[in-house]
Homo-oligomer: A and B are copies of this chain.
């Protein structure tokens, strides 16, 4: 496998003074694709990287990620990202569009270019093989644990790291996730795959329903081996799903992970819409926190969907305990026992209309969430 190198620097962007600049360097152009936040308010780093990826035709040689500052809503943030990318492109003598920039942290404060480029200098002094755990730590903001994962099937390797804990602490928001594989892919295929995998993983999680200005997820291929497409997609999805779930687990103040499965829908769009409505409902999230098997709140959340369904055909289970099947089934006590005994709570809805299914992860809504997000910013 072609080596992925990393270097670490400190630009003093985190209040803790911990390392906050991560540089990734690849020996050749690696095919890559990223999907970015759909928020209209975007970090200059996001805007720059989106454009660079287009200009390079989907190839990358170096990635710089800074933590502690979002490079967003503070003057010419695209220019700032360009300056840093230019610096790195000169340093390695590579084209600027082969350098991507990602940022996460506070909004509205200018990113100090000179401090970042100095940290890049330091990072380059010791380039070592990618350490997933360390990489996650450097790019973390309010995360309470590092997020990384990997799978290996015969010669196929997929691994990645991420940061994110809900859009929490005053704008110290953002989900960033990077997945690597030694499977050979062309830029066209990697683009499709990123969209498809992102849709069922990072775009199917919610902590507080808020969308950050910097969210990014990408797949990067070091292109060594040929892999079966189906198998590759499964492996990438597996790693992405695990990383996404870790972000939910680390959701601000969360004590439980909620897995919402909607099946029997007419198509994927319908399944996703309904799963999302249950997953984001504050009433469902507080009910789970209180171990209350409140199927009324679940079906009421389903009812807000624009998709038509027949309540008489709906089945609702919590764990494997049926609570509603066209009419109420009185299993509250068992369901409550299941909810008290488990940290991951399964809410399963069967619409009995078709074959489409969607899984959405969420976390419970707690007092700690409110407390942490009510604290004064500065």
Residues of A within 8 A of B (CB): 38-42, 73-75, 106-108, 167, 170-171, 173, 208-213, 281-283, 286-287, 289-292, 294-297, 299-305, 308-309, 311, 327-328, 332, 336, 365-367, 369-371, 373-378
Is the beta-carbon distance between A373 and B287 smaller than 8 angstroms? yes
Given A40-B309, A75-B327, verify A300-B332 contact (CB < 8 Å).
no
Is the beta-carbon distance between A291 and B41 smaller than 8 angstroms? no
Considering only CB atoms, which chain B residue lies closest to A211 in the complex?
Answer: B304
Is the beta-carbon distance between A291 and B373 smaller than 8 angstroms? no
Is the beta-carbon distance between A377 and B299 smaller than 8 angstroms? no
Considering only CB atoms, which chain B residue lies closest to A332 in the complex?
Answer: B378
Is the beta-carbon distance between B366 and A308 smaller than 8 angstroms? no
Is the beta-carbon distance between B370 and A287 smaller than 8 angstroms? no
Question: Which of A289, A295, A299, A374 has the most chain B CB atoms closer than 10 A to its own CB?
Answer: A374
Is the beta-carbon distance between B374 and A303 smaller than 8 angstroms? no
Considering only CB atoms, which chain B residue lies closest to A107 in the complex?
Answer: B296
Is the beta-carbon distance between A367 and B375 smaller than 8 angstroms? no
> A203: shortest Cβ distance to chain B, in Å?
14
Question: Which of A296, A305, A375 has the most chain B CB atoms closer than 10 A to its own CB?
Answer: A296
- Specify which chain B residues have a CB less than 8 angstroms from the CB of A292 in the assembled complex: 170, 374-377
Is the beta-carbon distance between B107 and A300 smaller than 8 angstroms? yes
Given A170-B297, A171-B296, A328-B74, verify A40-B303 contact (CB < 8 Å).
yes
Within the assembled complex, what's the spacing in Å between the Cα atoms of A281 and B377? 17
Chief secondary structure at chain A's binding surface: loop
- Specify which chain B residues have a CB less than 8 angstroms from the CB of A308 in the assembled complex: 40
Is the beta-carbon distance between A171 and B300 smaller than 8 angstroms? yes
- Specify which chain B residues have a CB less than 8 angstroms from the CB of A332 in the assembled complex: 377-378
Instruction: Specify which of B170, B281, B296 is in contact with A108 (CB 8 Å cutoff).
Output: B296
Considering only CB atoms, which chain B residue lies closest to A305 in the complex?
Answer: B40
> A163: shortest Cβ distance to chain B, in Å?
18
Is the beta-carbon distance between B41 and A374 smaller than 8 angstroms? no
- Specify which chain B residues have a CB less than 8 angstroms from the CB of A370 in the assembled complex: 286, 289, 365-367, 369-370
- Specify which chain B residues have a CB less than 8 angstroms from the CB of A305 in the assembled complex: 40
- Specify which chain B residues have a CB less than 8 angstroms from the CB of A40 in the assembled complex: 302-305, 308-309, 311
Is the beta-carbon distance between B210 and A374 smaller than 8 angstroms? no
> A1: shortest Cβ distance to chain B, in Å?
39
Considering only CB atoms, which chain B residue lies closest to A304 in the complex?
Answer: B211
- Specify which chain B residues have a CB less than 8 angstroms from the CB of A286 in the assembled complex: 369-370, 373-374
- Specify which chain B residues have a CB less than 8 angstroms from the CB of A311 in the assembled complex: 40-41, 73
Is the beta-carbon distance between B377 and A171 smaller than 8 angstroms? no
- Specify which chain B residues have a CB less than 8 angstroms from the CB of A294 in the assembled complex: 170-171, 377
Within the assembled complex, what's the spacing in Å between the Cα atoms of A377 and B75? 51
Instruction: Specify which of B171, B287, B296, B371 is in contact with A374 (CB 8 Å cutoff).
Output: B287
Is the beta-carbon distance between A373 and B290 smaller than 8 angstroms? yes
- Specify which chain B residues have a CB less than 8 angstroms from the CB of A107 in the assembled complex: 296, 300
Is the beta-carbon distance between B303 and A41 smaller than 8 angstroms? yes
Within the assembled complex, what's the spacing in Å between the Cα atoms of A149 and B283? 30
Instruction: Specify which of B210, B283, B377 is in contact with A210 (CB 8 Å cutoff).
Output: B283
Is the beta-carbon distance between A287 and B170 smaller than 8 angstroms? yes
> A310: shortest Cβ distance to chain B, in Å?
10
Is the beta-carbon distance between A73 and B41 smaller than 8 angstroms? no
> A48: shortest Cβ distance to chain B, in Å?
16
Is the beta-carbon distance between B296 and A373 smaller than 8 angstroms? no
Considering only CB atoms, which chain B residue lies closest to A295 in the complex?
Answer: B108
The 8 A-B residue pairs with the shortest CB-CB distance, nearest first, are A290-B374, A41-B303, A286-B373, A107-B296, A40-B303, A39-B303, A367-B367, A171-B296
